[in-house]
Amino acid sequence: MTGKINLSGLWELSLEPLGCETAEVYNDSMTLPGTTSCAGKGEPNTKQETGFLTDAYKFEGTARFRRKVNFKGLSGKRLMLCLERTRITELFVDGESLGVQDSLIAPHCYDISRFSENGEHEIVIAVSNVGYKTGGGHLTSQDTQSNWCGITGYMRIEICDQSRISGIRIYTSTENRTVKVRGNFENELPPNIGCAGICTVESVNTPVKQTLPGFEFEIIGSSFEFTLPLGENAYLWSDETPYLYRMTLTADNDTYTALFGLRDFRAEGNSFTLNGRTVILRGKHDGMIFPLTGYAPTDVDSWMRVMSIAREWGFNHYRFHTCCPPDAAFEAADRLGIIMEPQLPFWGTIREPGEEGYNKAEQDFLIEEGFRMIDCFGNHPSFCMMSMGNELWGSQKELNKILHGYKKYDRRRLYTQGSNNFQWFPSVLDEDDFFVGVRLAGDRLIRGSYAQCDAPLGHVQTEKPSTRHDYDSAVVPVTSEHKNAEGNGTVQIQYGTGVKTVEAAAADADFIPKVPIITHEIGQYETYPDFDEIKKYTGPLKARNFEVFRRRLEKAGLLPLAKDYFLCSGKLAVQCYKEELEAVFRSEKIAGFQLLDLQDFSGQGTALVGMLDAFMDSKGLIAPEEWRCFCNDAVVLARFDCYCLEAGAEFSAEVELCWTRSRTADMRTVVCTLSGEDFAESAEFTVKGSGTHFSLGQFTASLPKVTKVTRLRLSLEVRGTDVRNSYELTLFPRIEQVALDKARIFRSVNAEAKALLDAGKTVLIIPETEGKEGYIDGFYCTDFWCYPMFRSISQSMGKPVPVGTMGLLIDRNHPALAGFPGEKWSTPQWYDIVSNSRSEILDGKSEGKRVIVRTIDNFERNHDLALMYEYDESNGKVVVLNCELDSLTDSPEGRAFAASVIEYVSR
């Protein structure tokens, strides 16, 4: 390219809504790049969507943009009109159509060279956001960046002489420290006539600046290939050290420039290696959610911001859900050392020709879209992985064929059939380089949480909090007594926000992948909305869902609790995420994870699962440096049975280290300390040998014989590094037996209880709740993803609906809990209590009742839920506890809670 004409600026506008056949009327204008929604064009949208953000100017149809452009002085030049990031476009020059292009990821480039004669020309660009050949996944979804209409990237006419460099492929060798370049040279010379080109290379961000002398290469005919030595001191690109070089190619007045990096990303056995070093992928899901605009940015600075935040939180990997980001995202990832995995924009079924439902146009489009993805972004060192889509079904033979085609075309990255394909019936195809899924058989689970419709649930949802769990026995079972998933028929599955029936083959209970395993979309722990966030939505997408949720809560009389609901549900989500992530780092046979998500997800019912909001701003639930204690390239861990301990007992924990840094862990010292008020015990452990997972030994301590509930902290650190971790433990006094008979306990306020109340006494009511309406089952973990979406899916499938609660809000200063002190949110000491409870629905009957322990309901149902409350009656007081006390006597925390309640009501 020798020059360009920037087409950004004001364009005349004609809108043709879907279904409205109207003549072109250019009675408006808008600035491009941009979208009709951002420009406030079209009819205002008054809807109040609750499942996703509301587009204030939602437009579906065709937008025509018209402008005059002067080509003066360009006679005889080659001109290409290029549009980055748009929808389906048709280009008209002087009223003549130059064709239609429909890629959702690649620039649309039209050859307009025959119009290069001097003079003014009329250009019309018709952009349609309807009629896609495929659903488009998160590229066009109202759940993510919206189905915008417009052009969001560069708009320009690229000018070059009749000679043009194109199709550049850069291949690097870390072993030889060389770069091989292949390319095309479009010209009018005879095939046997050659010319010379010049290649220059300089480092961009290396500790020592490197500039190579110009390298002359020969061009014969329409292509060229050469190999350039970079020297034995050339720097490598990695997630630790993302060193980059800039290459400039010049030939016959045309110039091409690209960034590149030397890297070797491989799948070796069950692990990924980057330049020979084992890496664990610490990935986040990304659906390209940008609430201020409703579309993904195309400038590097915007991507540097969000990706730098992800790096600050310990992530080194991005998985793009059914979408591919623009070039700027890859450049930001290049600079920050992020391993990228874009996906084809597909979430459906791949079929073979001749099969019922086969859609040739759609599948051909998707396959071509994949080749365009490779051509456009393939030189970026961050483009290490590629996936065919999300939760695909259909023909494994056809998927394998598509993979084979891509790998034959370009082997510079690793490929996989998709994320969580065939769900209950996983397999590894011959062409798969790695596997992404949530289970390896019906009960061989490799993440900590699941939707109720996908039960069995995960260990974070069903087990008492501990740090024992890992996935190694699920990957390689000790026995083969695992359940096959039924197949050879049809099965109902979750499909997006709905349900789909698919054909399924029987799953192999003994399926053991021989490739690296990534655990798919782990986490999904929901937090309550922060209504203060509403004011941040100043762009075309409005948080009317939040406004509806706020009004619902206000109608329920619970709006004053909103901030506490947000904080307490969020603190519980932090606990769940910590265990979810540490389970991966304890697992030697898991190669990485893809979290859903570090940030909130704006759609699919409104899934507020992030530690950051949708803008990638912190929600204040945990600091990034604390998060990195259990999400980083080195994590020190302790395995123990329970967070709740008994005075005078022996505490034991196995000390472990997961280490993937380039500097060896050998001979480093890990310090482990258990400390509390007037108590501390420490031990040191030495790391020996090489590898990524180290079991360092047993830490033991004799616990003091305290007479009151005491907080302990188990701290670990790798001396001389930033690697540390900690666990908050609770030490309870030894209680041999709880004197339940001290209290006046009844099932209801009967005559005997009423007489006591008349006498000014306090009575304890423990209702019989089993099987009775008006109560919600106790569930310690916060809700999965979001209640309205999975409630609907479970009902559609005829399966149990999720409990849907989000932890506790505790009146920690209430005298009933004087012997059971803690936080105002759920902590492990409440697990047994919650699991043996059924919270009462107090809707419309809460007047006069003082809730001591409140259960937080979700934003759809908004029940006023109480695990424990009290009210005055006659001359006395009634305390209602919706938990059987005698079910708590097997644990020190259960006995402490029971004793505290008995002491209060027995006064």
- Tens-place pLDDT, residues 45-59: 999 999 999 999 999
Same domain, 726 and 786: no
Q: How many domains, in total, are found in the chain?
A: 5
Token duo for residue 154: 């560069």
Residue 189 belongs to a domain? yes
Residue 636 belongs to a domain? no
Percentage of the chain surpassing pLDDT 70?
Answer: 98
Low-confidence winner among 447-451, 499-503, 620-624 (lowest mean pLDDT): 499-503
- pTM, rounded to two decimals: 0.96
pLDDT at 230: 97
b/e for 607-627, b at 16 or more Cβ within 10 A? bbbbbbbbbbebbebbebeeb
Same domain, 191 and 274: no
Confidence of residue 240 (pLDDT cuts 50, 70, 90): very high
Residue 56 belongs to a domain? yes
How far apart, in Å, do the first and last CA atoms of the chain sit? 87
Mean pLDDT for 575-587 is: 99
Which are the contacts of 829, defined by CB distance < 8 A and separation ≥ 6? 643, 644, 730, 820, 822, 893, 896, 897
What CA–CA distances, in Å, run from 694 to 49, 447, 586, 636?
50, 22, 10, 9
Average pLDDT, the chain: 96
Same domain, 487 and 573: yes
Same domain, 873 and 807: yes
SS3 211: strand
Same domain, 453 and 359: yes
Which are the contacts of 456, defined by CB distance < 8 A and separation ≥ 6? 442, 443, 445, 450, 462
Same domain, 113 and 34: yes
- Tens-place pLDDT, residues 762-805: 999 999 999 999 999 999 999 999 999 999 999 999 999 999 99
Residue that is written with structure tokens 């604390």 in the block: 626
pLDDT at 501: 78
Domain boundary residue among 596, 627, 658? 627
Confidence of residue 280 (pLDDT cuts 50, 70, 90): very high
Reply yes or no on whether the pLDDT at 487 is more than 60. Answer: no
Distance CA 250, CA 254 (A): 6
pLDDT at 1: 72
Same domain, 676 and 768: no
Mark out the alpha helices in 624-679 (DSSP H runs). 624-627
Residue 725 belongs to a domain? yes
| CATH code for position 708 | 2.60.40
The greatest distance separating any two alpha carbons of the chain, rounded to the nearest whole angstrom, comes to: 111
Residue 634 belongs to a domain? no
Confidence of residue 484 (pLDDT cuts 50, 70, 90): low
Same domain, 156 and 169: no
Confidence of residue 117 (pLDDT cuts 50, 70, 90): confident
47 close to 57: Cβ distance less than 8 angstroms: no
- Tens-place pLDDT, residues 313-369: 999 999 999 999 999 999 999 999 999 999 999 999 999 999 999 999 999 999 999
Which residue in 337, 203, 858 sits closest to 556, CA to CA? 858
| DSSP, residue by residue, 39-55 | TT-S-------SSS-EE
Domain boundary residue among 713, 732, 751? 732
Full domain range(s) for residue 706? 648-732
Distance CA 90, CA 87 (A): 10
- Residues 611, 612, 613, 618, CA torsion sign: positive
Same domain, 506 and 586: yes
Same domain, 607 and 621: yes
| CATH code for position 455 | 3.20.20.80
Mean pLDDT for 672-688 is: 97
Helices (H) and strands (E) in the chain, counts: 13, 54
763 close to 746: Cβ distance less than 8 angstroms: yes
Give me the torsion for CA of 93, 95, 98, 99, rounded to 10°: 130
Reply yes or no on whether the pLDDT at 482 is more than 90. Answer: no
Same domain, 892 and 850: yes
Reply yes or no on whether the pLDDT at 679 is more than 60. Answer: yes
720 close to 671: Cβ distance less than 8 angstroms: no
858 close to 803: Cβ distance less than 8 angstroms: no
Residue 11 belongs to a domain? yes
Distance CA 894, CA 730 (A): 12
Domain boundary residue among 134, 160, 186? 160
What CA–CA distances, in Å, run from 766 to 715, 835, 901?
40, 15, 12
pLDDT at 499: 78
Which are the contacts of 430, defined by CB distance < 8 A and separation ≥ 6? 400
pLDDT at 2: 78
pLDDT at 489: 67
Mean pLDDT for 444-470 is: 98
Same domain, 345 and 473: yes
pLDDT at 570: 99
Residue 447 belongs to a domain? yes
Mean pLDDT for 592-602 is: 99
Reply yes or no on whether the pLDDT at 486 is more than 60. Answer: no
Residue 639 belongs to a domain? no
